[in-house]
Amino acid sequence: MQKITTFLWFDDQAEEAARYYVSVFGGDSRILGVTHYGAAAPGETGSVMTVAFRLADQEYIALNGGPQFPFTEAISLSVDCEDQAEVDRLWDTLTEGGEEGQCGWLKDRYGLSWQIVPKGLTEVLSDPDPARAERAMKAMLGMRKLDIQALRDA
- Residue pLDDT, tens place only, 45-65: 999 999 999 999 999 999 999
83/107 same-domain check:
yes
Q: Helix 84-95 to helix 14-25 angle, to the nearest 10 degrees? A: 160
- Mean pLDDT score of the chain: 95
Task: Give the domain-ending residue among 24, 39, 68.
Answer: 68
110/47 same-domain check:
no
The DSSP bridge pattern shows strands 58-64 and 6-10 to be: parallel
Sheet holding 48-55: strands in order across?
6-10, 58-64, 48-55, 30-36
Q: Please tell me the total count of domains within the chain.
A: 2
Task: Give the domain-ending residue among 51, 68, 85.
Answer: 68
Q: Assess whether pLDDT exceeds 80 at residue 84.
A: yes
59/111 same-domain check:
no
Residue 114, classified by CB atoms within 10 Å of its CB into exposed (0-12), middle (13-18) or buried (19+), is buried
102, 73 Cβ separation under 8 angstroms: no
Q: What pLDDT does 71 receive? A: 95
In this prediction the pTM is 0.92
41/86 same-domain check:
no
